[in-house]
Structure 1
Amino acid sequence: MTKPIRVLIIEDDKRIAEINRRFVDKVAGYEVVGIATNEQEAKEFVTILQPELILLDVYFPDMHGLNFLKWIRESFSNIDIIMITAAREIDALKQAMHGGVFDYIIKPIMLERFTETLVRYKEYYDKMHRMMNAKEMITQEEIDELIRRDYALSDADKELPKGIHRLTLDKVLAVMKQYQEEVTAEEVSKLIGVSRTTTRRYLEYLVSISLVTADVSYGSVGRPERIYRLKRF
């Protein structure tokens, strides 16, 4: 199993920071390593922890999040950032995009929207690191896939079939991305807390849109069992 993506939350409102932490904890493959509520704490935590991902607000009593974004970019270019803020000004969004943020989420945060972003980010993070470990040169198709920062469900998301809900689908996908070997519907169901029948319906949907492959294993007693593996693109 791969190491979790380490997340630092920078948010001056402790109540909101705690909500963000709980939301992160619901998504497989992530670990919150710290919460900073002011500029001094934020700079110390970033410098010491050097997380893979930062969840950053814009408005603080003692600093501006967009200025802090510039500091991160100048000092720690490998850290990715997701803005989570009440700032709705076009200029704030533009500055954030110029700063290379992965996403820009408006408060109040909806769990489904937040989960979607973390699932997409983990897909991007995993693909980038697989490429870095495997080769020095990449193809245009691989570049396009990374820059789009989406995954194969993006087009299908708009019209999910009856009985398939986005949040549960994200949970199933997150589990599949966590494991390198085949898994059964029963194993996935235990991890996400829904029935095996429901889990199998979601897995078969992922098979139908070519995100997951399925095979049959006969096991030690000869009883056939369907096993699933996430496709690697």
Structure 2
Amino acid sequence: MIKAVIVEDDYRIAGIHEEFLKKASDIAVVGKALNGKEAITLIKAKEADLVLLDIYMPDILGTDMIQELRRINPNLDFIMVSAATETDIVSEVIRNGIFDYIIKPVKMERFIETIERYKQMKEKLDVKKEVDQSFLDDYFGYKSDSKPQEKQTPKGIDPLTLEKVIGIINTIDGGITAEEMGAKIGASRTTARRYLEYLISVGNISAELEYGVVGRPERRYYVK
């Protein structure tokens, strides 16, 4: 069971947050504090895992409260629930190792999502001796797109035709000219050359000049 403390100077908001917490399983509110002095007294008296902490308190800023409460219980985790959006305040609490920061007015779905994430992290850390990269990715919110992005072909290059050209050139040992490729794919020499030159640009094939008995030299394309 996770033991939570709510530190919020507005008793009505504190009550709302308590009701939100009741919607999560295996978490209990062991106390509520309306100011910093009450919070210090509460943390000294109660065993707690998590503090839901506001920034603007009547007697002390939440940024300073984190350090004060951790002197009493170094193992406390913090979720900030505040209307404060100043970057210097947010930067300071992040440096102090908070688990999350929720901006007021709080949406219940966002609140519960954070609590569930915290519970999962806590449960895993309690049973693990070591962690792997996937656990840390989840904890720090890193999301990788495991599905590779399809490479975009330039204008004038049809993916299906390109696939056909690649299939043909892969089956020919002695190379192929643009004219020969055009005949095989049912296209003009100019069109075939466009596809072959594209494959050179992306490094799939190479070309060599072939000198005939008469006329201009012709490019012959080879698989690398």
- The bucket for the TM-score relative to the shorter chain is 0.5 to 0.7
> Which structure 1 segments of 5+ residues have no match?
157-233
Matches within 5 A, 1:155-174: none
Distance 1:8 1:148 in 2: 25
2:126 to 115, 122, 129: 129
Counterparts in 2 of 1:151 and 1:85: CA distance versus 1, 3 Å: closer
Shift of 1:146: 3.8
Is 1:87 aligned to 2:77, yes or no? Answer: no
Residue 114 (structure 1) aligns with: 111
Per the alignment, do residues 36 and 155 of structure 1 end up closer, same or farther by CA in structure 2, a change over 3 Å counting? farther
SS in 1 for 2:9: coil
Aligned counterparts, 1:1-233, within 5 A: 4-131=1-128, 135=129, 138-141=130-133, 145-146=135-136, 148-149=138-139
**What is the CA-CA distance between 1:72 and the residue it aligns to?**
2.1
Q: 1:127–1:13: structure 2 CA closer, same or farther, 3 Å change rule? A: same
- 1:103 shift after superposition: 0.2
Cα displacement (A) at 1:50: 2.9
Structure 1-normalised TM-score?
0.58
Please state whether the residue corresponding to 1:8 is helix, strand or coil.
strand
Partner of 1:166: none
Structure 2 gaps, min length 5:
146-224
Question: Could you tell me the TM-score, scaled by structure 2's length?
Answer: 0.60
CA displacement at 1:65 relative to structure 2? 0.8
Shift of 1:47: 1.1
The one-letter code sitting in structure 1 at the alignment partner of 2:56 is Y
- How far does residue 27 in structure 1 lie from its aligned partner after superposition? 0.9
Equivalent pairs counted in the alignment come to 145
Distance 1:155 1:20, change over 3 A: farther
Higher relative contact order (CA 8 A, sep 6+): 1
Residue 30 of structure 1 aligns with an amino acid whose one-letter code is I
User: In 1, distance between residues paired with 2:21 and 2:120?
Assistant: 15
The amino acid of 1:98's aligned partner reads R
Tell me how far 1:140 sits from its aligned partner: 4.1
SS at match of 1:84: strand
| Paired AA for residue 51 in structure 2 | I
Task: Name the SS for the 1:40 alignment partner.
Answer: helix
Q: 2:119 and 2:35 mapped to 1: Cα distance?
A: 27
Runs of 4+ in 1 over 3 A off after TM superposition: none
Distance 1:120-1:139 versus aligned 2 partners, 3 A rule: closer
The answer (yes or no) to whether the contact 2:43–2:72 under 8 Å persists in 1 is: no
